Amino acid sequence: MGGLAANSSVYGPQTNAYVLKHLEVVEIVINNPAIEDHTFHFHGHNVQVIETGPYGNSSTIGREPVAHKVSGPWPMWRDTVQVRAFEFIRVRFRADNPGVWFLHCHLAVHMYNGLAVVFAEAPDVLQQRQIVPKEMVEMCKRQGIPTQGNGAGNLGFDLSGLPPAVYPPS
C-alpha cells in the first residue's frame, strides 16, 4: 500500500480502523452507557488503566454511585478490562508494536454489532520490517487471496468487492 497505509480509508469502512504513529502515546476512553457490563480485550498491547468513573447518571442503576478514581503513579497493566454498566474507563499505551491490532468486546454478539476497533499501528515501520514468507504468499495466490492492495485487495481507494457489512455467522 505504500504511503496510503497511513490513511485509515484504505482498510475499508467495516474495520473501523485508526492509524497510529510509531511510538505515539495513545489514550482511549471507553464509555458504557448500557445497563450491562462489557469486557474489552486488547490485542498486541497491555494497557495502563488510568482512570475509571461514572458515565452519566450512574445512580439510576439501583446501586451505590461509583466513585471516580484516578490511578496512582504506577497504573496497573492489563490486556483485558471490564467496563461496568454506566461507567467509563480511560486506558493508555505506547504504540511500540507495529502491526494491525484488534480491540473488541468479548461478547461475540456485541463484537459483531460493531463494538470493536482496529488499530493499524505504524504501518510505515511495518512495511519496512515485515518479511512475509514466500510460502505464505504462494498459499494466498493459490486460494485467490490478494497479496497486496487495500482492504479489498485493490489499488488505492477502490474498495469494490468488499462486502457491505460484517455479519455474525448463522
Q: pLDDT tens digits for 46-89? A: 999 999 998 865 444 555 656 778 888 889 899 999 999 889 99
Grid cell 493499524 in the structure block, residue: 120
Q: 90 with 50: CB under 8 angstroms?
A: yes
The whole-angstrom separation of Cα 148 and Cα 130 is 13
In 10 A of CB 104, how many CB atoms?
Answer: 20
pLDDT digits (tens, 9 = 90+) for 8-49: 999 888 888 999 999 999 999 999 988 899 999 999 999 999
pLDDT, average across residues 118-127: 96
Rounded to whole angstroms, how far apart are CA atoms 1 and 7?
10
* pLDDT score of 106 more than 80: yes
Count CB atoms within 10 A of the CB of residue 170: 3
State the Rg of the chain over Cα.
19
What is the predicted pLDDT for the residue at 65?
59
